Amino acid sequence: MTLRPIILCGGAGARLWPASRPDRPKPFIKIFADRSLFQDTVLRVAGLDGAAPPVVVCGVAHVDQVARQLAEIGVEAQLIIEPEGRDSAPAILAAAAWTAEQDPKALALVVASDHHIPDAAAFRAAIALAAPAAARGAIVTFGVRPTAPSAAYGYIRAGEGEGEDAVSPVAAFVEKPDLATAAAYVADGFLWNSGNFLFRPEVLLAEAERLHPGLTGPVLAALAGAATAPGRLALGPDFAAAPRISIDFAVMEKTAAAAVLPVDYAWSDVGSWEAIWAAAARDGAGNALTGRVVAAGSSGCLIRAEDGVTVVALGVRDLVVVAEDGKVLVADRARTPELKAVLDGLDD
């Protein structure tokens, strides 16, 4: 059975300003190494057994960045280009419908382009473990066993009936809680919702049509009216008529086909500088430093200096300092998840 990875590239990544901006969102910046999060994702799924070339769903503004970064790592992909963003459900359904046309027997694996999963082998093992349930008709999501309570993630409560392949029905999806509620969820065995899915395309399309009438019609019309070129498919204008809705709200929170595989590999959606500090390699004082940085008598800091810039941090603690593209962020590390709200209304 062919496995078709579908990589979603979207969002502005405002919580990682100034490194991430609308013209260069989070998937395309280099955070942990010499490759971007997008490039790491492509290589992670390209190594899956039986994987066909990936499908990358992106907006018009990011086509050149996607093509350039794919060329840098020597991977070919099929691009599905959105005329405008309509959230995750229309994007996933467009890629699922295209996959069903190309190979009706394929399984589709949907992953975000900007998640950090350092153990690629563990990730691939989880996909192989979930594949039999997906082939039987389940829409499998991957629930990460929490390492600590977090208010930054949604949660999944697994139901009874764990089978031989360790996949269980989903009893409930829960939105991001406050920290006290998150602690109770962790104590009760809830899982972090990673937002990755494995399924047969026709199953997801049928469930979307049944549970959210009016969603699949514009998507399929946009696919039928697409402009094509080698390796690229630009969705037609009907795509703009699709409701703006996430796949969780449209399908996953309502369908009886939802299932979850608990996984133990390290995972983060690196949605804030605090999350990046937590996932990064740090020195003996707990500092994560990138570029020309001197951290004298400082601890617990994340400091990034672009080429040509020197940052000196003297006797400070638990700060984020990012100097890039003529912009500087200085913030209490614990408050960086608030950055998006602070930046609302800022011109750049």
Beta bridge partners of 262: 143
Tell me the per-residue pLDDT of 297-341, one tens digit each, with 9 for 90 and over: 999 999 999 999 999 999 999 999 999 989 999 999 999 989 988
**Domain range summary for the chain, segments of one domain joined by +:** 3-263, 273-343
Q: How confident is the model at residue 345, as a pLDDT?
A: 67
Band of residue 248 on the pLDDT scale cut at 50, 70, 90: very high
pLDDT tens-digit series, residues 132-188: 999 999 999 999 999 999 999 999 999 986 556 789 999 999 999 999 999 999 999
pTM exceeding 0.85: yes
Q: What is the pLDDT of residue 28?
A: 95
**CATH code assigned to 3-263:** 3.90.550.10
What is the rounded average pLDDT for all residues in the chain? 94
**Residues constituting the chain:** 348
Amino acid symbol at 171 = A
- Class of residue 200 by CB neighbours under 10 A (exposed 0-12, middle 13-18, buried 19+): buried
Q: How far apart are CA 233 and CA 284, in angstroms?
A: 49
pLDDT in tens, 5-15: 999 997 767 78
